[in-house]
Structure 1
Amino acid sequence: MPMRTASASATDQAFSQKAMLWIVFAGFFMQTLDTTIVNTALPAMARSLGEKPLDLKPVVVAYTLTMAMLTPASGWLADRFGTRRVYFSAILIFVIGSVFCATAHTLTQLVIARVLQGIGGSMLLPIGRLAVLRNIPGEQYIAALAFVSIAGQVGPIFGPVLGGWLVQSASWHWIFLINVPVGLVGLFAVHRYLPAGEVDAAPPFDWIGCGLLSLCMVTFSLALERGSVSSLSAALMAISIASALLYIPHARRHRTPLFRLALFREPNFSVGLVGNLVCRIGSGAVPFLLPLLFQLQLGYSPFHSGLMLLPVAISGTISKRWIVPLVNRFGYDIFLLVNTVIVGASIASFAAISPGWPLGLSIVQLAIFGAANSMQFAAMNGVTLKGLSREDAGSGNSLFSMVQMLAIGLGVTIGGGLVSLFSAKLGVAAPAYRLAFLSVGMITLASAMVFRRLDADLLNPKRTAVEAR
């Protein structure tokens, strides 16, 4: 009997661990799916709401900016209230936000609902990773994390296609409503299988520091969203700069600041952070601009538009296995310099896509961008986080995640703003898209100059494991 009991206990534990991994997988999948599924539906949403498609930039930016602001608090919340309780709340908030998105009748209502979605989405991946870290044995942790990361690859593959199909077959509201049944199953599974997690005496969270950096990001994004030089834009930019500068003395005085200033003494972390921000602006603009180009300028259906984005996701998934041997052979500095040029040039090449442009050539362009962009993310992650001490690794990763989400929002704001600006100047939209792609491609190319400042002596690839996106 004791042997049977022990065997049954081991079986139950293994089942619970698998169930937990599927829960985290589903949460990450919902987050990545929702990040990509909206872009294909923007023209249909604009018609339904009586808005111009480019005026729907806040629908994307509100979601990513909210996640950027709240991601650093996720770990503290898990320590303070328990992993299961926080993860359950995250899914619940995400589902409620999805319902509000589907029932929105105005752009303002939709943006508010997307903020609510972003509050839940900001906790799905960090808390999920934390649950895996705390409940999976060390020898199984890497395999478990690899399994969860598959969701980040599958979501972008299905997102645009599923979004286009739902818009074409039903209505844009269903891109949000599909989260409801998935979320309800997730809530039951979390309650049933996810360990509660210990409630620790977490140190006080740096709400002031978080507020200052959040104010900096929001006002900076709003200043760019204005799209013109005005007194309000200047005031917003001044507030953004002031809040960033105020964080410095605050971090020096605070016992446990949100991000220690010592992080920036690691030279490659600072360079990698700036390079990531600049490079990802172009990468963030592409998923927003391409569906608009396909549907509004080339006359593609939403489903056809979603299919056209498949080469990006598929080639990006395949190319992940190339990054380690390439970095080991050429080193981070040379690889990033060359690959950044490829990413920027491929973005600029989208300016050539127009009516009559060969379909096969478009697919090649998209595949090259997807492969180079995926490797770029992996290499930039490794460069930025490699030199951090154990003490700073968690804090540095949180700041890095904030910058990633901020860059996506900036890409949408800048890319859409350039199309609006050029359309107003030229009076027609077709060349405006071409100029916008050329511009964001040049911004990405500029990040190659940032990566030239990397300290190559600290980037021995033989001692560095390249991190997956």
Structure 2
Amino acid sequence: MWLAGFPIASVICNISAWLIRKPSAAARLTLRYPHMTRQSSHTALLWIVAVGFFMQALDTTIVNTALPSIARSLNAHPLAMQSIVVAYTLTMALLTPASGWLADRFGTRRVYFVSILLFVIGSLCCAGAHTVDQLIVARVLQGIGGSMLLPIGRLAVLRSVTGEAYVSALAMISIAGQVGPILGPTLGGWFVEAATWHWIFLINVPIGALGLVAVLRYLPNDSIADAPPFDFVGCGLLSLCMVAFSMAIDNPVEEHRVLVSVALFALSAAAALAYIPYAQRRANPLFQLALFREPNFSVGLVGNLLCRVGSSAVPFLLPLLMQLELGYSPLHSGLMMLPAAFAGTIAKGWIAPLVKRYGYDNFLLVNTVLVGASIVGFAAFAPGTPLAVEIVILSIFGASNSMQFAAMNSVTLKGLSIKDAGSGNSLFSMVQMLAIGLGVSIGGGLVRVFEGASGSAALGFKLSFVCVGVITLASALVFRRLDAAPQPARQPAAAQ
């Protein structure tokens, strides 16, 4: 996917150059009235980036509640729809490392324009898809654009806003990222009932069109003439590793496909092992192996991968359980996700004092148990389960999961040097997106296995929640290996 997606982004960057070669309107006004326009230019920039982050965050969650309706429309099994989620998240994971180089080579203004354009085109293709395969291809195109929205937006803010204002700017952007998951499930359910599932993608078109106009008007053209070369070989090896591993997990659970999965796992391992000597020989590899000398970084990556498998399976499995087994409407299932979203937003304020008092190791040990236990608790959802019980379990999951993400992010990256921070953050982002895809693939695969063995879809969902919850609980053992000595000097990052 990456090898196919990168030339598309590069070609469109060059084709669109004539549109945006001249200085933006804000830049021209700044030259004439610097004191009057600097603040308004920064405000416009923040709104552009926030809207881009909102679109990306919204699209990650809005699809889940519409999956059963999409499956019926395309004559597919609902559990077979996991591929459209995996295709999107895996594409984003593969392209994340290239975003910084693209911004340096072509400028944040041009690349952000292209990312929104690709996202809008991909959304239109998704709405026009008539088969599952067409929808998967469209989601890949959408993921190419979505992969650059957040990292390029952050970079544009970093280059334009300095000092204490940068912290406030990131806080504003993070709010947009929090609103997306809150509105996504409910908005997706409402679109399905009030119109058709196509509108969960078409909603991106008017928002994206306004974003394109705003980018041309307000974003600076800040390309770097002597941008360092990009490590295509290293990125290709890691991309091959992730794609092969994801395809092996996502492979249909059938006896004659076992050899295919084994071959894909072997290919993934070979690509990962090949990267080690390659990175040792290259002066500036995609990711320095020295990153793994920081113990908390290595522990954090493994813990994140395991923990997020369970956390990422929940948004995929819960709407399916509610609609297919509990008889909820799409809107009802979307509304049921609100307690988790609101509890997660409220709990973000609890992280800093709890970590400061108990340390990262103790906090993550206890909180991971809460996350895993709440995921296992979803197995109790049945037609006769009281609504109050469901809301309590959802709220516990939302609050603990939100704190888990923020604490895991912070403890993984806080020990890296300034030189390694950018590279470590890119690798960490890749692992996050990979874990989302794995969670969906593993969760959906387990439901099919248990349903086929027991003949009961309801039992398949229950056992699947237990299994992914246990996987999350296992990550608590990983977090016990954290270096407890360093105490948090600043509030953990809230970004998920």
Q: TM-score when scaled to structure 2?
A: 0.92
Distance 1:330 1:215 in 2: 40
Matched letter for residue 92 of structure 1: L
Matched letter for residue 376 of structure 2: A
Match of 2:448 in 1: 420
2:160 to 118, 135, 142: 135
Match of 1:89 in 2: 114
Count, aligned residues: 463
Superposition pairs for residues 292-307 of structure 1, below 5 Å? 292-307=320-335
Superposition pairs for residues 210-221 of structure 1, below 5 Å? 210-221=235-246
More displaced, 406-415 or 218-227? 218-227
State whether structure 2 residue 79 is matched by structure 1 residue 51.
no
Matched letter for residue 136 of structure 1: V
Distance 1:97 1:383 in 2: 35
Matched letter for residue 223 of structure 1: A
Distance 2:225 2:61 in 1: 36
Contact 1:308 1:363 in 2 (8 A): yes
Match of 2:347 in 1: 319
Contact 1:132 1:144 in 2 (8 A): yes
Superposition pairs for residues 367-386 of structure 1, below 5 Å? 367-386=395-414
**What CA deviation, in whole Å up to 9, does each residue of 1:221-255 have, x standing for no partner?**
11111243611111000000000000001101111
Q: Which runs of 5+ in 1 are unaligned?
A: none
State whether structure 2 residue 217 is matched by structure 1 residue 192.
yes
Distance 1:200 1:150 in 2: 34
Distance 2:85 2:145 in 1: 15
**What CA deviation, in whole Å up to 9, does each residue of 1:118-176 have, x standing for no partner?**
00000000000000000013121100110011111000000000000001110000000
Superposition pairs for residues 55-70 of structure 1, below 5 Å? 55-70=80-95
Distance 2:108 2:31 in 1: 27
**What CA deviation, in whole Å up to 9, does each residue of 1:4-34 have, x standing for no partner?**
x999532322111111100000000000000
Match of 1:117 in 2: 142
Contact 1:71 1:401 in 2 (8 A): yes
| Offset, 1:411 | 0.3
Q: SS where residue 331 of structure 1 aligns?
A: helix
State whether structure 2 residue 418 is matched by structure 1 residue 390.
yes
Distance 1:235 1:451 in 2: 31
Match of 2:57 in 1: 32
State whether structure 2 residue 494 is matched by structure 1 residue 468.
yes
More displaced, 91-100 or 134-143? 134-143
Matched letter for residue 114 of structure 2: S
2:438 to 384, 401, 410: 410
1:18 to 43, 57, 61: 43
State whether structure 2 residue 280 is matched by structure 1 residue 255.
no
Task: Identify if the C-alpha distance between structure 1 residues 180 and 6 changes in structure 2 by more than 3 Å, giving closer, same or farther.
Answer: closer
| Offset, 1:464 | 4.2
Match of 1:266 in 2: 294
More displaced, 190-199 or 375-384? 190-199
Match of 2:474 in 1: 446
Contact 1:266 1:387 in 2 (8 A): yes
| Offset, 1:199 | 2.4
Superposition pairs for residues 165-184 of structure 1, below 5 Å? 165-184=190-209
2:171 to 142, 146, 153: 146
**What CA deviation, in whole Å up to 9, does each residue of 1:314-364 have, x standing for no partner?**
110110000000000111000000000000000000000000100011011
1:345 to 362, 373, 376: 373
Match of 1:330 in 2: 358
| Offset, 1:62 | 0.3
Distance 1:271 1:442 in 2: 19
Contact 1:382 1:464 in 2 (8 A): no
Matched letter for residue 50 of structure 2: F
Distance 2:263 2:132 in 1: 25
Distance 1:9 1:54 in 2: 56
Distance 1:41 1:389 in 2: 43
Distance 2:330 2:179 in 1: 20
Matched letter for residue 317 of structure 2: L
Distance 1:139 1:160 in 2: 35
Distance 2:178 2:36 in 1: 30
Distance 1:399 1:8 in 2: 41
**What CA deviation, in whole Å up to 9, does each residue of 1:289-319 have, x standing for no partner?**
0000110001111000100000111110110
